[in-house]
Amino acid sequence: MELAPPSGSYKTDWEELTREQRCSRAWVEIDLDAIGENVAQIRTKLQPNTAVMAIVKADGYGHGAAYVAQAALRAGATWLGVATVWEGVELRQAGITAPILVLEAISDRDRVITAREHQLDLTVAFTKQAVALSNLFSSSERPLPIHLNIDTGMSRLGVDWTEAESCVRLLRCLSGLELKTIYSHLATADEPDTTMVHEQHRRFETVLHRLRAIGCDQPIHFSNSAGAIAFPELHYDMVRVGLALYGIAPAPHLADQITLRPAMSVRAKVTQLRTLPPGRGVSYGHRFISERETKLATVGIGYADGVPRLLSGRLAVAIRGQLAPQVGTITMDQLLVDVTELASVEVGDTVTLIGADGHQRLTAQQWAETIGSIPWEIVCGFRQRLPRLYHLASGLIEPTPGIQPTSGVEFGDGSSKTNEASDFKYGNGI
């Protein structure tokens, strides 16, 4: 039996919903001014001629790639980095024209052609890939821009550092390709033990010495957020900044070396209040039993939205500037909070899970430490069913229906910002 599509309209038009309706249960707030401030703070760590590549993969670490990209470019970043071709395409469809580097290694024809059509630069990570790309573009009037990834210790992606010189010699023999930059990636820059950082630096310098000897002088980039903050000798021509862009230090021991402002807040609404007698079980498995008369608030957010179930009974939230413990098992769409000690709570009150409420500061780092994770995983985990609200000092930016804006982000003064695609730009060449 063939299924027929439903008759009539069965989808609610996002544009027809008020902001209050969209955020009736839970939402994510993104402070775009914080993104700009974080770029500015990072740039204070750099030499004037060191550029910033803003890493906006994974939908801008869950913050919204196009909005973050525009804010970062406005603040002085000159390049964008994404993981996949499709992430780069989405930025182009959003009207962003700044140079974009795809960090994954691809060689299949369809994705390569798509990247070329959208003016995306590609990473080369192994020689067979380079040959495949050359075969596709050997007769092209315009060479394909490529960036050589050299593995100096990550053991994930890239040409082994001992083979880098031979790879560059091969690239020189291949037609249809233009080598734009050479880069590597730090494996342990966010760890207190810096031994491997220095070893990777030694290996990379060995490679660069050999490449300079054969006349290879392409721009170099090596540092991630931790490297940009803690290792000025590793800045080279550009740094690739991910987590710090979003206002989170890549490690607790680096937090006092730079002033960052978290851009993401996660909030939800109290949807019901009830008073339980002593001895009443709460949520699945009854892992919390009330020991006294307990005032309980149901909050409209759960693990399907990105609140890890592992936080059950280990999470604090803020309501009206006061902390309250989450109790019982976190469920798919809701969680429960003991508000007995709070002076006043009403249905409809805003609950802050991550972000600021009065003097309270709740962070993704705290969540990560509680469950043995990392803040990257926390912020990337908030699902798209949570609407995003984008703020500037001048006011709220209404999200465009779909995943991205269409011709640049409008800023509060009515202006917009895009960066033209170009050759490699140094930090003072904005």
Q: Which residues are catalytic?
A: 57, 284
The CA distance from 309 to 324, in Å, is 18
- Rounded Cα–Cα distance for residues 383 and 360 (Å): 24
Pairing of strands 26-31, 388-392: parallel
Residue 274 C-alpha from the chain's centroid: 38
Q: Measure the CA–CA gap between 294 and 340, rounded to whole angstroms.
A: 6
Contact 189/235 with Cβ under 8 angstroms?
no
Q: Give 266's strand partners.
A: 28, 354
User: Which backbone phi and psi does 143 adopt, to 5 degrees?
Assistant: -65, 155
Number of other CB atoms surrounding residue 246 within 10 Å = 29
Cα-Cα-Cα-Cα torsion 415, 418, 424, 430, nearest 10 degrees, comes to 0
**Pair 149, 240: CB distance under 8 Å:** no
Tokens of 269: 């609404």
What type of residue sits at position 41? Q
